[in-house]
Structure 1
Amino acid sequence: MTFRATLRTLRLILPAALIFSASAAEPPPRPYWHSSMVHKAWTKQEGAPTAVFGITQDQRGMLWFAANDGVYRFDGARFERLTAIDGNKLRSSNTNAILAVGSALWVGYSFGGVSVFDHGQAHHYGVEQGLPVRTIYQVVRSGDGTMWCSTADGLYWLDGAHWRYVEAADGLVPGNVHYFTALPDGSILADHPTGVYRNTPGSHRFRKVAGGQGIEIHTLLSNGDVLLVNQARQFFRYAALTGASAPLQFPPDVPPLDPFLDARGAIWVNNDAGLTLLGPDMRPLRTFAGLNNLSGKQVYNTLDDREGNLWLTTENGVDRIRESRLTAVPLPTRMFRAMSVQPDPDGTVWISNHKTDGDYDVATFGLRPDGSRIETPLSNMTASMLAPDGSLWFGNGQMLWQREHGAWRQWPLPPNLQGSDVQYMAVDRSGRMWLSMVRNGAYVFRDGAWQAGGGIAALTKLTPVSLHADPQGRVWFGYTSNRLAVLDGAALRQYGAADGLDVGNVAAILSYRGQLLVSGDQGVALLDGQRFVPLHDADGQALRGASAMVVTRKGELWLHGADGLTRVAAADLASGLASRRLRVDHFDNLDGYRGQPSQVRPLAVLSEAADGRMWYATSASVGWIDPANIAHNPQAPTAQVTTLRTDQRQYDARADLVLPQHSSNLEIEFTAAILSIPERVRFRYRLIGQEQAWRDAGARRAAFYTNLGPGSYRFEVLAANEDGVWSATPATLEFSIEPAFMQTVWFKLLCGVLALALAGGLYWWRLALVTARIGERLRERLRERERIARALHDNFLQSVQALMMQFNLIKHGLPPDDPVQAQIDAALDTADQVLGEGREQVLSLRLNHELSGDLEAALSGLGHILAARHGASFVLTVKGTPKPLRAAAAAEAYAIGREALLNAFRHACSDEVTVELRHASAQFSLQVRDCGRGMAAEVYERGHRPGHFGLTGMRERAHDVGGALEIRSVAGQGTTVTLRLPARRAYARKAADKLPSMPN
């Protein structure tokens, strides 16, 4: 089998650019890779596909893979294997080619045919549409919008709804076209067994532009660059747009078995040793060694995504290679563990390591800006410092070294300090160098002379962990266990936990605009007056412990702790210290950080170089980051809703989704394609119809809702990438929940009607009950009135009558001319008047309508009795259709009418009294009218007779029953009393409103 046949069989090395549409906007050119890169591999264990034959990226940033067990979708965090897309099944799970064009996804199958999935619809092409029953290798879109696909037979292009074959007459003889790509000018560049062919833009005519028999294509890029190899295994880089060809010379130790190009123009070599990146000078820049790094041994496909990551597929899974924000420098093989870094003013960075038990003794060296090294006589350095005068100082357990103007000077430690490592160095304003000597406290070194504690006995007892000389001339000494001292002149002041210091071992001390910062393994604190206060980040979390702190020349604060580097921007530092909250950026293992700073000795693990780069040293690496050129991801992620789940089933996210009744508990899954650092993704979401405020989900990709009612909802979600760039617009999912009958408006209305009916029934039942009780009480009152009437008639009136008869007998027994006769006659007249009034009261008791319930009959009986007694005529008329009156209305109307009749017969001296009852639809009225002498003027104006309350009682009764009383009187022409009651107050609505009559 030839080398070409082997490549074809394994589907090796499909270039990244082949996957993209030529009509898509070209990304800006990316700079060449630097040596520090972050690699991650996913295998089948993490759900990744294996032996991927096609890879593409859609307009939302999602990666799609075509494999022999279906199509896979990847958002940077999770692989999803799909046998259907938007509810439309694939024609086969054995897929080979895949291409995203706009919102459409094109899929080519291993046994022929192409499917297009777009906006929930699917369209399939097969033999009937002109395609052969052969494997679809690739699908590509040219600049004029034409769709192309390649097979073992050759090229095909889509003409409307039918695929056309590129024949020999078009300049391309039949043969296996495996690789082809769309060039920026709209043409197609295709690999053929006989050479490289290119068509005229907008046509289907091809011509050979390079190669020939025995020339194979290894890579095609969208910019027209082609990697060619001949039978002698000589490689050439051919630029299709210019026609220029250049030979490539690979390093002898990197055999070019399967080289390929990426979008940065870099050449990668995949061989038995793994994957090697060659630099612009064709020398190895970085190697990922076989299965120790990559997911597999053989690279099948590559893709450069829109965020600048390089994706590889192997026989075992998927790999991602991206640039790190931290750049590690190559170190000597045996240099590791306790390393330190110290830049000097001329741009050289000095790298040392402290040898511990079992470590190798590696010499300190200087790294120039051009990458070359400077050898030194130093080794096993335990401390370093850049002095204010620009000289460089190093120290260990035997010597103190100074480098100035390129020359080295050295001083041995005094005999009593030999073997006592220099742990920290600082130079105060007077030029004295303070040193922390392990197990020997603090010393001052000046002009070759050593002084224990600088003459302060207290400073010889404890060994400082850190030193700092501030601009005010004070020297600060940091110790273990939250202890700190400051020497101000000859005065020594100590601080501790009682002063708010809570950072653990004081590893670093720093001055910033007259303020003092201290850090340790437990946090960072600021000296506020005479007390220390802890500093927090913007979320209120305590700042992580730091082994070193630096304020750069541009005013940024950098911290180096166990989990990486932390930066506080200059614009945020001053305000953050005032509020005790700092907005920070972290750089950790996701940015290429490895190891941790020295935890035993506070070595120089963080420094600013002359060019502004921040250099750091850890137990595993030495590297730098350029604060002025930190790579950021400007690509705003496109959030998308993927799935909605209820207690019963799962739904694909699609428009106008209708959920069945009782779908009250929902789980909504969402995602966003953030491929560089998906671990730092952030989401926020809300459900319109349930809430208006956004919820922060952090990195969680699901939302949960319970007890949702029926109705329409719109779910919205936004995503932010690792640099806090948020989606321009939220992804939405609109859905509705169908109401059960008990949740419908009709059910609620029915419940309301039933509730009203029940309330009305309860009201009428209560009304009937109360009316019955009132009726019973009225009947009891009626019986009591009858008893009183009988008692008055049978006892009192009879007794008065008997008494009058006795007085008559006494009168007849007296002489006719006896003066007592006149007195007895007067008494008998008075008694007769009392007897008459008593009979009227008895009659009133028996005729009271409040008891009888018949107003017409009661007033008629009373009127005729009074008329006969006073020798006057009485007339009662009824107008309108009589209607039953309410019991209370009838009782009060009778009382008012009775009082008016008594007044008319007794006081008006009228010859005729009339009563009119008028039953109108709007009101009921009672009118009592006489033609007597009328009321006295003063009584009419006042409204009542002094000492009498008849008229006042009539008005009160009318008011109580909700009516109006009108009294008109003209002297010599009579009086008219009119009672008017509204219909709702006067008429009974049902029998319960009427007072039942007593039996005769």
Structure 2
Amino acid sequence: MDNSPAPQRPRLASWAAALFVAAAAASAIAAAGEPLPFWRSSLSHTAWTARDGAPSDPNTMAQDRTGMLWFAASDGLFRFDGVRFERVDEVGGHKLLSPNVRALALFGDALWLGYAFGGVSVFDHGAVRHYGEAEGVPSRSIYQFARTADGTSWFSCSGGIYRLDGARWRQVTPADGLPAGEQPALVVLRDGGLLVRHAAGLFRSVPGTLRFRQVPGPGGMTFSQLNADGKVLVMKYGVMPQVFDPISETTVPLRLPDAPTLPYSVYRDGRNGWWIGGGDGMRLYDPDFNLKKQLLAPQSFSGVRVSEGPFDDREGNLWFLTENGVDRVRETRATVLETPLRRADFSVAAGAEGDVWIGSNMTVNEAAPHAFAIAADGRRIDSDMPSATASTRDADGGLWFGTFGGIWQRRAGQVRHWPLAPALQGTAVQALAMADDGRLWVSVVRRGVHTLQDGVWLAGGGHPELATRTAVSLHADAQGRLWLGYTGNAMAMLWRGKIQRFGPTDGLAVGNVLSMSSRRGRLWIGGDQGLARFDNGRFVMLNDSAGQPFAGVSGIVETGAGELWLHGVKGLIRVGAADLSAALAGGGDRVAAERFDHLDGHEGVSAQLRPLDSLTEAADGRLWYATTSSVGWIDPRRIGRNRLAPTPLITWLDTDSRRYRAVNGIGLPEHSRNLQIDFTAAVLSIPERARFRSRLIGQDHVWRDSGTRRQAFYTNLGPGDYRFEVMAANEDGVWSVAPATLSFRIAPAFYQTVWFKLACAALLAGALYLLYLRRLARITARVVERMRARLEERERIARTLHDTYLQSVQGLILRFHSIKAGLPDNDVARRQIDAALDAADAVADEGRDQLMELRDNHLCHGELAPALEAACGAAGAQHGVAFSLREEGARRALRPEAQDELFAIAREAVGNALRHSGSTEVLALLSYGAAGFTLEVRDHGRGMDEEVRKAGRRHRHWGLTGMRERAARIGARLAIYSTPGAGTAVVVTLRAALAYQDRR
């Protein structure tokens, strides 16, 4: 009997048609190598519905090469990266023909879409090909695509099956061996042929042809699934599922577990698990049809009907589509044990034979919960022992348990019991430890610490001070030391009959001491505020790589492989052996750690009071943990890892004014200062742990860690070319092989262009030149004014000398002449007066010469060479000395201020030569060089006196000093070379920039 209403049949066929992709995925998994083992740990289930952005009533799904999942639905085409569903209205810049997408397939990199009312689109590497009625596609809903080994493309629709023949689609007709009918379902077999599920039965393509022939099997229009073993699962509503074997071409019924009604849907996943839906969600069965997991709607599953599934993605996750959304099932790293209902606050203790004892400290409507064990082979072992609040193991492998009111011992299957001492009754045991002398140390709530040996209780173990305070935790190490942990960073150690106490001054900063463990001579202490180790009499804290403490550590295990495992309030923590050894060897206080929390299957919070410890290592190496709500285990040797490197994708670039789809070569307008770049990567198992790093070449010098954020923001970017790069890592830190890149260019504003900058530079240079000319004019005017003032001063001094000094000297000479006239000719005094008058005439002549020097303004009128030739030639004629001037190089105009000073220096040097050298000729040499100008005045006289050469001037004469001052004023270098009996040379050199007016 068909249980489905007739109006739903077209819809059911569309569900089935899309299963080709899932079947192909399962086939690919099996073909890639060894089949995946059946689900080994607990399963994590997540559902997404419309309120999470998922498509409503999705039809089918597929996965592309980057790992992204694609969904076809009546409300659009969607893409999913594990975190966010993105509706896609265009692919490669090409719009979809319709938002109502019914069929979806990926052949290579080509995305094939089929629409609800006809039409096919093929998007391939940025190009698109649309097929409509003109290309043979009917105006019917497209349900499924398929591609056979010969490269032929097929689709099924409400009007039958069509194949692509060149550029047109042609319908498969009865002449091709397939009866007329609606909504056939397609399956591509292992041999690459096509199996058609038709209302009239099963039909198989004839190899090497485009024809079909009928094979044994039931007809119908519901789905057919290709299993990993190559067989086809055939469903027909109201009939037991059938299995078709393409090799023998036989069909046999599938034997399912007993159920009140026939299943609504049956699927087989790539791990040989059976998923059976009865119209209320899904149930997982192992290969022998033993029930393993129930996901029932609406609490644990998104819908009551499964329209597609199971779809295996490349990370090993399983996906289902329902009428309400999308469901994902994945294997967790931690396995949660199925515990009795109405229990909480669990405890675990590992026995020597591989058994693990489990208790619960709290029940709801159940008195005196008993402990039970899980044997090494998985069997459950019940007992009459009450659930423990504390436990420990002795050297012989015996287990000791502390309960409310007593002590229990289990050894070799035998159980013994001792009640608490009368003074200790009415409360629970907090902690236990077995010392090497055979005494059991017991910490009792509000009663302190006591010992039990051979049935005898001893308060404080013979140390009265230990009986006054309850220890939160106890531990006996291999060195024979008993450690007692208290609240408030306090500990005590009993060793060889002596008690030593520790506190914050000894480095203890773990807060309340909840757990202790020792191995390889190391003692670890865990508390609600951190983790520490005992090292040479002090406690050294150990934090994670970020410097944060490990909070709420109530369980510690150092495994045989050298790994350190902690159980804290946020789950399990693993410190690798290599990282731990490096941290201990280097004396560091930080270590890299891996966390396992609710994303890995861990449920609840580790106990922070009782029962402690909350973590234990079983004989087979598995670590069992207990929380407030669950008991579970994890195998450190078999932790599932995702070795698949994600492929990063850049999706959008946003500016303040517009959104751009991420394609290389985007041109952004001017003033695009603030950018937001969206990126992602398909990490489907634990997307919450995906990490990203990015950089903007042209702005960033190093990679920036984005953490889990899938966006990058940039502000105040200038114009230019940029390239954004992003890398992604999955939950196990496997980074992408290559970054995703996006190149774009920000156009410059007119004031940011090169020509504008050049224009501004030219204006600035012009302004600076004008300022230079203005300053030069001001300096020139100041120099002229200074020269004018100097000339006026010289003229004033000359007038004063002429009107006063020389006149007075002349008057004295006349008086001495009159005195001489009154003396006899042969008078001795007359001869002395004549000598004095000769001296006075010489003084008067020198005064006149100085007066002429003052009256002559020393300014060079005209060019330097003619002016020197005129002035110095006349002076040489006066002194009877030949003066000559020679020029080397092409004559160049000199700067006025430089020419005046050179003229004065040359006149002074020539005057000195005429007066003091005794030379018969004096030469002036002017050299016009490219690098500079040189003035040289040379004579062949007696040379400079040794005293003058050493002093640099004649006594009470300032000519040489004046020449040096003039040379310094114009930036010239003056040098005097003199050799006794060979003459003197005065050389002045001046750089071209300071000497010449023109610049060559």
* TM, length-normalised to structure 1: 0.89
Instruction: Work out the CA distance in 2 between the residues paired with 1:220 and 1:210.
Output: 16
| Correspondence for 1:480 | 487
Alignment of 1:324-339 (within 5 A): 324-334=332-342, 336-339=343-346
Alignment partner of 1:153 out of 148, 159, 163: 159
Q: CA deviation at 1:542?
A: 0.5
Correspondence 1:30 to 2:36: yes
Counterpart code for 2:21: L
| Correspondence for 2:725 | 716
Match of 2:465, SS? helix
Instruction: Work out the CA distance in 2 between the residues paired with 1:682 and 1:842.
Output: 96
| Correspondence for 1:123 | 129
Asked if 1 retains the 8 angstrom alpha-carbon contact of 2:122 and 2:130, the reply is: yes
Asked if 2 retains the 8 angstrom alpha-carbon contact of 1:20 and 1:140, the reply is: no
Match of 1:293, SS? coil
Match of 1:747, SS? helix
Asked if 1 retains the 8 angstrom alpha-carbon contact of 2:361 and 2:611, the reply is: no
Instruction: Work out the CA distance in 2 between the residues paired with 1:880 and 1:534.
Output: 87
Q: CA deviation at 1:305?
A: 0.9
Percent identity, please: 47
| Correspondence for 1:779 | 788
Alignment partner of 1:8 out of 4, 7, 10: 10
Match of 2:859, SS? helix
Asked if 2 retains the 8 angstrom alpha-carbon contact of 1:969 and 1:976, the reply is: no
Asked if 1 retains the 8 angstrom alpha-carbon contact of 2:934 and 2:988, the reply is: yes
Match of 2:97, SS? coil
Asked if 1 retains the 8 angstrom alpha-carbon contact of 2:441 and 2:449, the reply is: yes
| Correspondence for 1:542 | 549
Match of 2:329, SS? strand
Counterpart code for 2:63: Q
Alignment of 1:585-664 (within 5 A): 585-603=594-612, 605-664=614-673
Asked if 1 retains the 8 angstrom alpha-carbon contact of 2:316 and 2:330, the reply is: yes
Q: Structure 1 residues 55 and 843 mapped into 2: Cα distance closer, same or farther (>3 Å)? A: same
Q: Structure 1 residues 888 and 217 mapped into 2: Cα distance closer, same or farther (>3 Å)? A: closer
Q: Deviations 1:702-727 (Å, cap 9, x if unpaired)?
A: 11122222222222211111111111
Q: CA deviation at 1:288?
A: 1.2
Q: Deviations 1:944-977 (Å, cap 9, x if unpaired)?
A: 99947788569747854537779899999x9998
Alignment of 1:256-271 (within 5 A): 256-271=263-278
Match of 1:541, SS? coil
Q: Structure 1 residues 377 and 827 mapped into 2: Cα distance closer, same or farther (>3 Å)? A: closer
Asked if 2 retains the 8 angstrom alpha-carbon contact of 1:218 and 1:259, the reply is: no
| Correspondence for 1:373 | 380
Which range moves more in the overlay, 372-381 or 909-918?
A: 909-918
Asked if 1 retains the 8 angstrom alpha-carbon contact of 2:698 and 2:721, the reply is: yes
Instruction: Work out the CA distance in 2 between the residues paired with 1:524 and 1:922.
Output: 79
Correspondence 1:316 to 2:319: no
Asked if 1 retains the 8 angstrom alpha-carbon contact of 2:42 and 2:334, the reply is: yes
Correspondence 1:205 to 2:208: no
Counterpart code for 2:303: G
Q: Structure 1 residues 177 and 912 mapped into 2: Cα distance closer, same or farther (>3 Å)? A: same
Match of 2:66, SS? coil
Q: Structure 1 residues 841 and 52 mapped into 2: Cα distance closer, same or farther (>3 Å)? A: same
Asked if 1 retains the 8 angstrom alpha-carbon contact of 2:648 and 2:727, the reply is: yes
Q: CA deviation at 1:472?
A: 1.6
Alignment of 1:429-578 (within 5 A): 429-577=436-584, 578=587
Match of 2:637, SS? helix
Counterpart code for 2:592: R
Q: Deviations 1:857-876 (Å, cap 9, x if unpaired)?
A: 86577558657856789899
Q: CA deviation at 1:422?
A: 3.3
Asked if 2 retains the 8 angstrom alpha-carbon contact of 1:183 and 1:222, the reply is: no
Q: CA deviation at 1:677?
A: 0.8
Q: Deviations 1:586-644 (Å, cap 9, x if unpaired)?
A: 22111112223344422464322222222223332222222221111111111111111
| Correspondence for 1:995 | none
Match of 1:629, SS? coil
| Correspondence for 1:997 | none
Q: Structure 1 residues 803 and 880 mapped into 2: Cα distance closer, same or farther (>3 Å)? A: farther
Counterpart code for 2:458: Q
Q: CA deviation at 1:740?
A: 2.5
| Correspondence for 2:308 | 301
Q: Structure 1 residues 830 and 213 mapped into 2: Cα distance closer, same or farther (>3 Å)? A: closer
Instruction: Work out the CA distance in 2 between the residues paired with 1:526 and 1:56.
Output: 52
Instruction: Work out the CA distance in 1 between the residues paired with 2:507 and 2:100.
Output: 67
Q: Deviations 1:32-59 (Å, cap 9, x if unpaired)?
A: 2246211111121111111101211111
| Correspondence for 1:112 | 118
Q: CA deviation at 1:60?
A: 0.7
Correspondence 1:353 to 2:360: yes
> How many residues are aligned here?
985
Which range moves more in the overlay, 503-512 or 239-248?
A: 239-248
Counterpart code for 1:269: I
Instruction: Work out the CA distance in 1 between the residues paired with 2:937 and 2:418.
Output: 137
Match of 1:250, SS? coil
Q: Structure 1 residues 699 and 232 mapped into 2: Cα distance closer, same or farther (>3 Å)? A: closer
Q: Structure 1 residues 857 and 209 mapped into 2: Cα distance closer, same or farther (>3 Å)? A: same
Which range moves more in the overlay, 778-787 or 165-174?
A: 165-174
Q: Structure 1 residues 922 and 495 mapped into 2: Cα distance closer, same or farther (>3 Å)? A: closer
Q: CA deviation at 1:31?
A: 1.6
Which range moves more in the overlay, 807-816 or 708-717?
A: 807-816
Instruction: Work out the CA distance in 2 between the residues paired with 1:151 and 1:463.
Output: 77
Instruction: Work out the CA distance in 2 between the residues paired with 1:400 and 1:375.
Output: 18
Asked if 2 retains the 8 angstrom alpha-carbon contact of 1:295 and 1:318, the reply is: yes
Asked if 2 retains the 8 angstrom alpha-carbon contact of 1:19 and 1:98, the reply is: no
Instruction: Work out the CA distance in 2 between the residues paired with 1:926 and 1:954.
Output: 16
Q: Structure 1 residues 982 and 41 mapped into 2: Cα distance closer, same or farther (>3 Å)? A: closer
Q: CA deviation at 1:297?
A: 2.0
Q: CA deviation at 1:777?
A: 0.8
Counterpart code for 2:709: R
Unpaired runs of 5+ in structure 1? 991-1000
Asked if 1 retains the 8 angstrom alpha-carbon contact of 2:919 and 2:941, the reply is: no
Instruction: Work out the CA distance in 1 between the residues paired with 2:88 and 2:937.
Output: 98
Match of 1:12, SS? helix
Instruction: Work out the CA distance in 2 between the residues paired with 1:460 and 1:979.
Output: 107
Counterpart code for 1:51: D
Q: CA deviation at 1:156?
A: 2.7
Q: CA deviation at 1:66?
A: 1.0
* TM, length-normalised to structure 2: 0.89
Which range moves more in the overlay, 855-864 or 843-852?
A: 855-864
Q: Structure 1 residues 882 and 837 mapped into 2: Cα distance closer, same or farther (>3 Å)? A: farther
Which range moves more in the overlay, 768-777 or 859-868?
A: 859-868
Q: Deviations 1:636-683 (Å, cap 9, x if unpaired)?
A: 111111111122222111112222222222211111111111111111
| Correspondence for 2:747 | 738
Alignment partner of 2:776 out of 767, 772, 779: 767
Asked if 2 retains the 8 angstrom alpha-carbon contact of 1:467 and 1:477, the reply is: yes
Q: Structure 1 residues 325 and 239 mapped into 2: Cα distance closer, same or farther (>3 Å)? A: farther
Alignment partner of 1:800 out of 809, 825, 828: 809
Counterpart code for 1:309: N
Q: CA deviation at 1:776?
A: 0.6
Asked if 2 retains the 8 angstrom alpha-carbon contact of 1:288 and 1:294, the reply is: yes
Q: Structure 1 residues 898 and 200 mapped into 2: Cα distance closer, same or farther (>3 Å)? A: same
Unpaired runs of 5+ in structure 2? none
Give me the CA root mean square deviation: 3.7
Match of 2:562, SS? coil
Asked if 1 retains the 8 angstrom alpha-carbon contact of 2:16 and 2:222, the reply is: no
Q: Deviations 1:719-756 (Å, cap 9, x if unpaired)?
A: 11111111111212122222233333333333333333
Instruction: Work out the CA distance in 2 between the residues paired with 1:625 and 1:867.
Output: 117
Q: CA deviation at 1:77?
A: 0.7
Asked if 1 retains the 8 angstrom alpha-carbon contact of 2:646 and 2:729, the reply is: yes
| Correspondence for 2:104 | 98
